[in-house]
Amino acid sequence: MALSREMPYNGRNMDATLSEIADRVLLACGKRPVALEPVKGGGYSLALRLKATFPDSSTAFVKVATNEWTRNFLRQERHVYTHLGSQPFLPEYIGFEDTGEYPLMVLEDLTGAFWPPPWNPERIQAVLTALEQIQQAPIPPD
């Protein structure tokens, strides 16, 4: 995949090219990806979702705002991550870049994680434990 071609998203092209996104990932986390691949499925917004692969073969999840709503949402999400810090119920927050119209967030890549079903008693207990941890986490200020 060439990093310089425009990334189509929801039937339209983003203003940023993949090469520009790769440069911004470098600013956010100190590593420039050698590949950016669309993440299929999932997600709760219209943000562009990409899997970044770095020269050392490590990967990260990248979200790029695509409109005003996702721009505001990513900034709020960053606020939550930076306030809560490392938590067992959150993916690792790696970095954020917000110099343009489309903020970009880099998180731990969870594509290799297990996503139920099927459910068993151990997995149900893990969810209940995570819910207790979430309940005890500090509420980020406005």
Q: Which of 6-10, 31-35, 98-102, 132-136 has the highest mean pLDDT?
A: 31-35
Task: Report CA-CA distances (Å) from 19 to 40, 85, 87, 118.
Answer: 20, 30, 32, 39
Q: Is there a contact between 34 and 52 (Cβ–Cβ < 8 Å)?
A: no
pLDDT digits (tens, 9 = 90+) for 1-14: 333 334 444 444 55
59-64: strand order across its sheet: 35-38, 48-53, 59-64, 104-108, 93-97
Q: pLDDT for 23-57, tens place per residue? A: 999 999 999 999 999 888 777 788 899 999 999 99
Name the DSSP letter for residue 37: E
Give the HSE-up count for residue 128: Cα atoms under 13 Å, Cβ half-sphere. 7
**Per the structure block, which two tokens stand in for 42?**
């999932």
CA–CA distance, 100 with 71 (Å, rounded to integer): 10
Q: What is the pLDDT of residues 72-93, one digit of tens each?
A: 999 999 999 999 989 888 999 9
Residue 30 gets the label, from left (phi > 0), alpha (psi -120 to 50) or beta, of left
pLDDT band, very low/low/confident/very high, at 61 (cuts 50, 70, 90): very high
